[in-house]
Amino acid sequence: MIASTGLMDYIKIKLRPLMRSVIRFLMFFYYDTSFTMGCSGKVSLGKKVAVANTLFNVSSGSIVIGDYTIFGQNVMVLTGRHNFSHGQRAGIDLVRNTDAWGGGDLEVPSSGYDIHIGTGSWIASGAIITGGVKIGDHVIVTAGAVVTKDVPDYAIVGGVPATIIGDTRNFN
C-alpha cells in the first residue's frame, strides 16, 4: 500500500505540469475565441479590439466595432431576429409544410439590423446587444445588460432593458 501511494504521488507530480499545459491550451479556445454565426465578412473590428469569447450573429446585418473596445466573457452581439406575423413566426408555414427547419428570408431578414459599437468602449460579461443599435464612444455596458436602443457617447448603461445609469466622464 505504501509503495502504491508513493507511485501515485510521483505520477501526480510528474503529470501535473503536463496536464496544466494541456488544460490551459484547451481553455484558450473556450475563453479567448469569438464565434461568428453567419458571414464573418460582415464583422469589422478596429485596432486592438479584445473580443474574448463573444458571439457575433450577423444573420440580419453587419457589426462594426471601433478601436480599443473590449468585451468581457460571454457577450452576445446579435443582429439576427425573427419576424412574427399574425401572432406566429412569419415562416412557420414553410417549416410545417416542407423539410425546412427555419422560415428563410420571410422570417429572418438578411439586412437592416446593423450594430455599431464606438471607440474605447467596454462591454462587460454577459451583456447582450440586439440588432439595429448604435453604441457611442467610451461607453460602459454593465454585466448582464440587454441593449435594445442607441446609447450616446460616454454613457454607462445597465439593466434589462439597458438604461443610462451614469457617465464615464465622472470617473477620476
3-state secondary structure the chain: CHHHHHHHHHHHHHHHHHHHHHHHHHHHHHHCCCEEECCHHHEEECCCCECCCCEEECCCCCEEECCCCEECCCCEEECCCCCEECCEECCHHHHHHCCCCCCHHHHCCCCCCCEEECCCCEECCCCEEECCCEECCCCEECCCCEECCCECCCEEEECCCCEEEEEHHHCC
Q: Which pLDDT belongs to residue 56?
A: 92
Would you identify the CATH topology of the domain 34-79+114-170? UDP N-Acetylglucosamine Acyltransferase; domain 1 (2.160.10)
* Rounded CA separation 169/172 (Å): 8
Q: Which pLDDT belongs to residue 78?
A: 93
Q: Which pLDDT belongs to residue 142?
A: 98
Q: Running along the chain, 172 residues long, what does each successive block of 10 average in pLDDT?
A: 66 76 65 67 90 89 95 92 81 74 73 94 97 97 98 98 96 80
Q: Which pLDDT belongs to residue 111?
A: 82
Q: Which pLDDT belongs to residue 7?
A: 76
Mark whether 82 is an active-site residue.
yes
Q: Which pLDDT belongs to residue 27?
A: 61
Q: Which pLDDT belongs to residue 99?
A: 73
The ranges assigned to domains in the chain are: 1-31, 34-79+114-170
Per the residue annotation, which of 82, 86, 116, 138 is the catalytic one? 82
140, 87 contact by CB (below 8 A): no
